[in-house]
């Protein structure tokens, strides 16, 4: 954890093995920082788009990676334009790594912008920091079903870490972890499958973390997050007990969006 690549050994090994197998024609990284993960993406992909709000990324690393196009700006502005461009050009987007704005709104926005894409090759979407409660909440509250090509999402593809006392200010914070979303060219037959393979590990860590007071009765708890959770629960109950009403409300909602 002490070099310029902000990922655990398990994440590095996973990224390496995924990319050497997939060899993407086209990949996107949102959040470059000091190009730790970008170096591995660039080594195994034909073309990489590297997005960061910090102009220093392009000036520091452009000459090192000839197959990387740097795009400077806030991802909320740059990512939708890039997705439209890739879709129109017919390039096969096969790999995306999201690791930029870690707020609930930021993570949701980046994921939703990727979900605009309709794949013609399998697309692997890695979301870093799925062990962090805000990022995890954002991944869970994303409306994955809005893209008919999403087949499954695994929140704990690689488990994150509980920061130790030796690491000072961040003691008892929860960071890292890879969530994985898989999009396929064919449309999914049923609902999106949302796995949480290490939910017990996550819940146990949460109880001992600095986030343990993030509850609905805490005035600092994010209200949109609580509201979204309530909305998801209501939708689940409706779908189970009144499927026709669910379908008609869902169709009306999609028409209005």
Ligand X SMILES: C[S@@+](CC[C@H](N)C(=O)[O-])C[C@H]1O[C@@H](n2cnc3c(N)ncnc32)[C@H](O)[C@@H]1O
**In terms of CB distance, is 102 or 214 closer to ligand X?**
102
Residue from 10, 14, 25, 53 touching ligand X (CB under 6 A): that is 53
CB of 52 to ligand X, least distance (A): 4
Work out the number of other CB atoms within 10 angstroms of the CB of residue 65. 17
**Alpha-carbon distance values, 235 to 87, 231, 245 (Å):** 31, 6, 10
| Contact code string over 71-100 relative to ligand X, x by CB under 6 A | ---xx-----------------------xx
For residue 58, give the 3-state DSSP assignment: helix
Under rule CB under 6 A, residue 182 binds ligand X: no
**Position 32 contacts ligand X (CB under 6 A):** yes
Which of 13, 20, 43, 54 contacts ligand X by CB under 6 A? 54
CB atoms within 10 A of CB 80: 15
Query: Stretches 45-53, 133-141, 230-238, 245-253: which one binds ligand X (CB under 6 A)?
Result: 45-53
CB of 75 or CB of 209, closer to ligand X:
75
Neighbour-count burial for 212-246, b at 16+ CB within 10 Å, e otherwise: eebeeeeeeebeebeebeeeeeebeebeeeeeeeb
Position 45 contacts ligand X (CB under 6 A): no
Could you say which of 27, 40, 48, 51 contacts ligand X (CB under 6 A)? Answer: 51
Pick the piece of the chain touching ligand X (CB under 6 A) from 20-28, 52-60, 154-162, 225-233.
52-60
Footprint of ligand X on 222-241 (CB under 6 A): none
3-state secondary structure of 4: coil
* Residues numbered 95-154 forming contacts with ligand X, rule: CB under 6 A: 99-101, 106
CA 175 – CA 196 distance, rounded (Å): 16
Place of tokens 């909602």: 253
Angle at the Cα of 118 (from 116 to 120), degrees rounded to 5?
A: 155
* 33 near ligand X, rule: CB under 6 A: yes
Q: Is the CB of residue 60 less than 8 Å from the CB of residue 30?
A: no
Please give the residue ranges that form the binding site for ligand X (CB under 6 A).
5-7, 31-34, 36-37, 51-54, 74-75, 99-101, 106
């Amino acid at each position: 954890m002490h070099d310029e690549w902000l990922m655990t050994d398990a994440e590095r090994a996973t990224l390496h093995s995924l990319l050497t197998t997939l060899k993407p024609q086209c990949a996107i990284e949102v959040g470059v920082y000091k190009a730790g993960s970008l170096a591995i993406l660039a080594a195994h992909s034909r073309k990489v788009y590297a997005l960061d709000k910090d102009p220093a990324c392009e000036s520091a690393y452009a000459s090192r990676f000839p197959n990387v196009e740097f795009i400077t700006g806030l991802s909320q502005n740059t990512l939708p334009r890039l997705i439209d461009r890739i879709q129109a050009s017919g390039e096969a987007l096969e790999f995306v790594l999201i690791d930029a704005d870690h707020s609930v709104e930021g993570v949701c926005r980046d994921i939703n912008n990727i979900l605009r894409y309709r794949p013609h090759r399998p697309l692997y979407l890695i979301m870093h920091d799925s062990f962090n409660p805000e990022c995890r909440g954002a991944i869970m509250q994303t409306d994955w079903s809005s893209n008919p090509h999403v087949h499954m999402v695994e929140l704990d593809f690689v488990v994150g870490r509980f920061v130790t006392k030796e690491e000072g200010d961040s003691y008892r914070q929860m960071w890292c972890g890879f969530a994985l979303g898989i999009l396929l060219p064919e449309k999914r037959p049923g609902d999106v499958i949302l796995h949480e393979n290490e939910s017990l590990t996550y819940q146990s860590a949460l109880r001992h973390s600095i986030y343990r007071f993030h509850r609905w009765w805490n005035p600092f708890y994010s209200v949109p997050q609580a509201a979204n959770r309530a909305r998801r629960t209501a939708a689940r109950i409706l779908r189970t007990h009144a499927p026709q009403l669910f379908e008609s409300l869902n169709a009306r909602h999609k028409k209005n969006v």
